[in-house]
Copies of this chain bind each other. A is one copy, B any other.
């Protein structure tokens, strides 16, 4: 509620600022007995790390994570897991001129109005750098979900600016800097980004993220619906302006006879619903899309005002991602995993005794 804790039973409390001494999080509620090492977490952190290609910010952060608590002899103990990431490449001088000016599209004005003061170094708390601890927490959730339920998470970029990216081959996703599920499109994306960088401008993107091997019945009827919590998690990622479940805005022009996913003894016939009915998981894949706005830090000048209310102009130099969507795929996967693990724990609390008279119907596999 005070804004820095995510989840109800698997609770992640995030702290830090872009250019402060450190960022990190405390995970409270992780079940005991899970094998966990720093390497498990580092792998996911490295996937969102800055400086890994010329298309992302050149800030050079190793993002090395230290486990401060909650693990004993290689296993979680059920007590809070504190994760610490020291900031090592803060260059505050890059941001000196923004202390007094409100950058358009940024949170400068709103933070100042809310708090009366703000940490201007690198965007302070509003920096996308604060997604790193969420990726770290998500790595813990993903390991547990895979071990206990076989649930996995995969995301990819489906559109960059006006370039639509076809879903051709999932195996390509980790092989290019865009998380694109297509080898053929990569060259075009690279030249698109190179043009953009030369122009000093930025662009938006669309991502798809899915959960596979989902337990059935996760969620709650009225609020705490699984899809409502997914929307909350996704809209909370920096720069996200839209969220869809299943067919999303495509449902507006659909007929009921077309939309409802038929059930057969072998499973659902289709997945327009995106894996959620009435706020509860169907066991099919969760299908989520998000829209990410163009980076607000651009070299193209924009009119603005300063703290005295006088007109000025802002152009932002420094090290920025020209498309924040590029590094957002591991973030969206992590947030989806955090939603799912929270609902798994909640479901156990209330419904672990439920026994059904017949075998459950399996959800369909990807592509259905």
User: What are 10 A-to-B residue pairs whose CB atoms are below 8 Å?
Assistant: A2-B80, A3-B220, A16-B82, A125-B222, A205-B252, A223-B236, A249-B291, A262-B303, A263-B304, A307-B357
* Residue A171 is within 8 A (CB to CB) of chain B in the complex: no
Report yes or no: A231 in contact with B256, Cβ–Cβ below 8 A.
Answer: no
What is the minimal beta-carbon distance from A308 to any residue of chain B, in angstroms?
A: 6
Tell which of B5, B114, B148 touches A223, judged by Cβ atoms closer than 8 Å. B5
- Find chain B residues with CB under 8 A from A367 CB: none
Contact A282 B110 (CB under 8 A): yes
A249 to B205, CA, bound (A): 9
Q: Which of B109, B230, B351 contacts A282 (CB 8 A)?
A: B109
Residues of B within 8 Å of A297, CB to CB, are 256
Choice from B2, B248, B291 contacting A241 with Cβ under 8 Å: B248
Q: Which residues of B contact A353 (CB under 8 A)?
A: 31, 33, 148
Residue of B nearest to A350 (CB): B31
- CA–CA, A364 and B20, complex, Å: 35
Known: A109-B277, A161-B253. A125 touches B307 (CB 8 A): no
A sample of 11 more A-B contacts (CB under 8 A), given A11-B13, A26-B26, A78-B114, is: A3-B221, A5-B13, A5-B28, A202-B255, A204-B254, A227-B236, A244-B291, A249-B291, A263-B303, A263-B304, A348-B349
Contact across chains for A224 and B1 when beta carbons are under 8 A apart: yes
Instruction: State the interface size on chain A (CB cutoff 8 A).
Output: 163
| Contacting residue for A107 out of B115, B269, B278, CB 8 A | B278
CB pair A204 B72 closer than 8 Å:
no
Task: Check if B263 sits within 8 Å of A305, measured CB to CB.
Answer: yes
Closest beta carbon of chain B to A65's beta carbon, Å:
13
Q: Select one of B79, B248, B261, B298 contacting A291, CB under 8 A.
A: B248
Shortest CB distance A20–B (Å): 5
A117: chain B residues within 8 A (beta carbon): 32-33, 72, 75, 77
Q: How far is the CA of A106 from the CA of B256 in the complex (A)?
A: 11
Taking a contact as CB atoms under 8 Å apart, the answer to whether A303 and B352 are in contact is no
**Interface of chain A residues 105 through 147 with chain B (CB within 8 A):** 105-107, 109-119, 121, 124-126, 130
Q: Does A279 contact B (CB under 8 A)?
A: yes
Tell me the complex Cα distance, A260–B299, Å: 13
Task: Please tell me if A232 contacts chain B, counting CB pairs below 8 Å.
Answer: yes
Which residues does chain B contribute within 8 Å of A15, judged by CB atoms? 26, 28, 68-70, 79-82
Whether A110 lies near B14 (C-beta < 8 A) is: no
B14 touches A222 (CB 8 A): yes
Q: Within the complex, what minimum Cβ distance (angstroms) separates A368 from chain B?
A: 14
| Complex CA–CA separation, A84 to B125 (angstroms) | 19
Contact A116–B228 (Cβ < 8 Å):
no
Least Cβ–Cβ distance between A201 and chain B, in angstroms: 5
Q: CA separation between A264 and B1, bound complex, in Å?
A: 33
Residues of B within 8 Å of A296, CB to CB, are: 256, 259-260
